């Protein structure tokens, strides 16, 4: 039996290892003036955190901290878990070229047990949007914050302003909880998806408000087990599964639920879209329920003839198989006459579509429905009359 002294030493060591260590970026030279470059300070804090065997919290206090592109890679860290507590604002350089040629402004990868609480990300993307609209030669722009190859991730209370490209990207992750997030950008901001999820499983997006120039939430290939609830969208392009089928060999999308969502003045409400070209991908077991449409151009839409600019897909048909999709309790106003549009693939028609308790009006009259290559059933109240 171990001696009492040894037991005390082991307990002391255990407590020491388990007690959290907090690093404040002010202690490493960061200044909250919005002008002093704090990138080196934050990189130095990350190096300390990465080398620690203790649980680590990185603290970013109130103020504005100028930040260039930075990567938080946990591949060689002693602990893969870390917590960021952000009370202040991280602001990108006003010259969009500084971060605009990279894929990400802030990037996390190879972590397990990452939490990001609070904070504002101000990417100052408006000048890049203007460059793009002018037709000049501009960088493609950076996603504001990305998470890749990580698990057990919490993103809570984060605000993203004026991203150059996408605001938040989840790629190749497992068990991600996004809650209380606010995304804000101009309704004309290009390629400005709010939250994009792909190649990830067990992801939830809860209690969030997204206003942007592209999809509020976009769901890419390889997504399995996504739950979206209590999300307000607008302006924007709605909640979209796709675009799917850009590649001929592509992972499918399955087990997606969108529940209690409100769309206001958006281009689309709930949408599935795929390229009009061959692919082995699919979308199945999708649920859209309890959604409110306020003056939405296309409240319910499946578009399998997506072919922007009529390039690389004219005269072809989509190979994406869409099946088992339910639209339940969706009501409100359409900004166009056609409130329900199912434009499915002639090669692989949509099957198992279910409409239940749908009520959409256009200028105080019932909206219309338009179906092509779509099969399924309807139940409960139907306005417009089902075209399945």
Report the CATH number at residue 90: 2.160.20.10
* Model pLDDT, residue 19: 66
The number of C-alpha atoms within 13 Å of 167 and in the hemisphere containing its C-beta is: 31
pLDDT of residue 238 exceeding 80, the answer is yes
Torsion sign (Cα): 221, 229, 234, 302: positive
pLDDT for 7 equals 40
pLDDT of amino acid 59: 98
Distance CA 164, CA 322 (A): 32
Q: Say what the pLDDT of residue 313 is.
A: 81
Q: Is residue 17 part of a domain?
A: no
Residue 196's closest CA among 165, 176, 217, 175? 217
Domain count, the chain: 1
Give the pLDDT band of residue 20 (cuts 50, 70, 90): confident
Question: What pLDDT, in 10s, does the model give residues 25-73?
Answer: 999 999 999 999 999 999 999 999 999 999 999 999 999 999 999 999 9
Per-residue pLDDT, averaged over 225-234, amounts to 98
| Active-site entry in 237, 290, 331, 373 | 237
Tell me the chain's radius of gyration from C-alpha atoms: 23
Asked whether residue 5 is assigned to any structural domain, the reply reads no
**373: annotated active-site residue:** no
Cα 89 from Cα 100, distance rounded (Å): 19
Please name the residues in contact with 1: beta carbons below 8 A apart, sequence gap of 6 or more. Answer: none
Give tens-digit pLDDT for 196-216: 999 999 999 999 999 999 999
Q: Does a cis peptide bond (omega within 30 degrees of 0) precede residue 235?
A: yes
Q: Is residue 22 in a domain? A: no
Short-list 273, 274, 285, 281, CA closest to 324: 285
Identify the three-state secondary structure at position 140.
Answer: coil
Q: Is residue 108 part of a domain?
A: yes
Q: Residue 253 falls within a domain, yes or no? A: yes
Comparing 78 with 309, which gets the higher pLDDT? 78
Instruction: Give residues with Cβ within 8 angstroms of 184, minimum separation 6.
Output: 159, 160, 161, 162, 211, 212
* pLDDT at residue 16 greater than cutoff 50: no
Asked if residue 13 has pLDDT above 50, the reply is no
Task: Name the residue among 345, 374, 366 with its Cα closest to residue 388.
Answer: 374
Strands 239-244 and 70-73: unpaired
Q: What are the strands, taking DSSP E only, across 44-111?
A: 56-60, 64-66, 70-73, 82-91, 104-109
Confidence of residue 308 (pLDDT cuts 50, 70, 90): confident
Residue 37 domain-assigned? no
List the beta strands (DSSP E) in 318-367: 321-334, 338-343, 350-362, 365-366
The answer to whether 88 and 119 have CB atoms below 8 angstroms apart is: yes
Share of the chain above pLDDT 70, in %: 95
pTM attached to this predicted model: 0.94
Establish if 365 belongs to a structural domain. Answer: yes
- Domain boundaries, position 119: 69-383
Task: Please give the DSSP secondary-structure letter assigned to residue 113.
Answer: E
In a domain, 350, yes or no: yes
With 90 as the cut, is the pLDDT of residue 276 above it? Answer: yes
């Amino acid at each position: 039996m171990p001696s009492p002294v040894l037991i005390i030493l082991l307990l002391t060591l255990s407590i020491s290892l388990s007690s959290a260590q907090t690093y404040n970026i002010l202690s490493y030279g960061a200044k909250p003036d919005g002008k002093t470059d704090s990138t080196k300070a934050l990189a130095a804090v990350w190096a300390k955190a990465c080398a620690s065997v203790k649980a680590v919290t990185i603290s970013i206090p109130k103020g504005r901290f100028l930040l260039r592109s930075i990567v938080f890679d946990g591949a060689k860290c002693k602990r893969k878990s870390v917590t960021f507590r952000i009370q202040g604002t991280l602001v990108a350089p006003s010259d969009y070229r500084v971060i605009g040629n990279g894929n990400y402004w802030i990037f996390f990868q190879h972590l397990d047990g990452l939490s990001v609480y609070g904070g504002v990300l101000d990417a100052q993307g408006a000048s890049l949007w203007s460059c793009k609209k002018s037709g000049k030669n501009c960088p493609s722009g950076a996603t504001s914050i990305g998470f890749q190859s990580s698990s057990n991730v919490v993103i809570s209370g984060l605000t993203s302003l004026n991203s150059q490209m996408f605001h938040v990207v989840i790629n190749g992750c497992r068990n991600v909880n996004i809650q209380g997030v606010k995304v804000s950008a101009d309704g004309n901001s290009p390629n400005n998806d709010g939250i994009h999820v792909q190649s990830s499983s067990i992801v939830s997006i809860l209690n969030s408000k997204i206003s942007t120039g592209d999809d509020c939430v976009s769901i890419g290939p390889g997504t399995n087990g996504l739950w979206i609830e209590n999300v307000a969208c607008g302006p924007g392009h709605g909640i979209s599964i796709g675009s799917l089928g850009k590649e001929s060999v592509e992972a499918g999308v399955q087990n997606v639920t969108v529940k209690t969502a409100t769309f206001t003045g958006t281009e689309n409400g709930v949408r599935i879209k795929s390229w009009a070209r061959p692919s082995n991908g699919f979308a199945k077991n999708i649920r859209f329920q309890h959604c409110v449409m306020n003056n939405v151009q296309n409240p319910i839409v499946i578009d399998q003839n997506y072919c922007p600019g009529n390039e690389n897909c004219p005269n072809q048909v989509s190979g994406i198989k869409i099946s088992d999709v339910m639209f339940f309790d969706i009501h409100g106003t359409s900004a166009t006459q056609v409130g329900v549009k199912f434009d499915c693939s002639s090669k692989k028609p949509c099957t198992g579509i279910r409409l239940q308790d749908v009520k959409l009006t256009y200028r105080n009259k019932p909206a219309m429905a338009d179906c092509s290559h779509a099969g399924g059933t309807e139940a409960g109240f139907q306005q417009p009359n089902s075209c399945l």
